[in-house]
Amino acid sequence: DIQMTQSPSSLSASVGDRVTISCRASQSISSYLSWYQQIPGKAPKLLIYAASSLQSGVPSRFSGAESGTDFTLTISSLEPEDFATYYCQQSSTTPYTFGQGTKLEIK
Amino acid sequence: QVQLVESGGGVVQPGRSLRLSCAASGFTFSNYAMHWVRQAPGRGLEWLALMSYDGNKKYYRDSVKGRFTISRDNSKNTLYLQMNSLRVEDTAVYYCARDSGLRGLDQWGQGALVTVSS
C-alpha cells in the first residue's frame, strides 16, 4: 500500500496567518492527490483535487502544490472557520490511502 | 442539490452482520463511481472500498476484503455495504462518497455510526 505521511500532526496558528501542511507519498502517485477539511462531527469536504485544482466553491485562500512525491496545502490567510482537521488522500492506486491528518487549532 | 444519505447503522454484536445503504439524489447516480470510507472514534479517515459506475469493478482494502461487500443498484440510486463477521475494531462512522471523476471524493453523506460490541 502507498503510505501518506502528513506533517505536522497538529498546528497552532492565529487568524490571518499563512499556514502550510505537508503530505509525502511513499511512492510516485503522479498528481492523484486530494485535500479534505473536516470539522468535528461533520463529513469531510473536498478542497483540492489533482494536487492543485481548487474544488468549486472553495475559497481561493486555499491552494495546493506538488513536487515529486511531496505535496502541500497552503491557507494564505486563516479565517475563523478554517480551524479544522485536514487530510490528504492519494487516488493513484487502491487502497486509496489517507494521511493521518493535521489538526489546525487556534493559538 | 446533490445528497447522499446513509442508513442501516446501529449496535451489533461481534461476529454478526449489518448492511449499510447510501441513497443518492440530485445527480445521475449511474454515471459515478462510489466509495465507502470510515472513521473510528477519535481517529482519522480510512478508505474501505470503491465500486465503478456500472458495478463491474470493485476494490477493497485488505482488512475488510472477504468480510465486506460493496454493491449498488443503479435503478434505485443506492449504494450498499454488506458487512459480515464484524469485529470490535470495525466500530466507526461509515461514510459513502461520490468519486468526482477527477479522483477526488466531492460529495459525502452525513455518516452512519456502527458500533460493534457485546
Give the best residue of A94, A97, A102 to mutate against chain B (max B CB count within 10 A).
A94
The minimal CB distance from B45 to the residues A46, A87, A91 is found for: A87
In chain A the beta strands, taken as DSSP E runs, fall at 4-7, 10-13, 19-25, 33-38, 45-49, 53-54, 62-67, 70-75, 85-90, 102-106
Q: Is the pLDDT of residue B66 over 80?
A: yes
Residue-wise pLDDT tens digits, B86-102: 999 999 999 999 999 77
HEC letters along B11-49: EECCCCCEEEEEEEECCCHHHCCEEEEEECCCCCEEEEE
Chain B's closest residue to A96, CA to CA, is: B47
Residue-wise pLDDT tens digits, A23-81: 999 999 999 999 999 999 999 999 999 999 999 999 999 999 999 999 999 999 999 99
Considering only CB atoms, which chain B residues are within 8 Å of A93? none
Q: Do A100 and B110 touch (CB under 8 A)?
A: no
Q: Do A98 and B44 touch (CB under 8 A)?
A: yes
| B113 confidence band (pLDDT: 50, 70, 90) | very high
SS3 state at A38: strand
Q: Which of A32, A96, A44, A2 minimizes the C-alpha distance to B49?
A: A96
Percent of chain A with pLDDT over 90: 98
List B112's β-bridge partners, or say none. Answer: B94
Task: Calculate the average pLDDT of chain A.
Answer: 97
Task: Calculate the average pLDDT of chain B.
Answer: 97
Least Cα separation, residue A36 to chain B (angstroms): 9
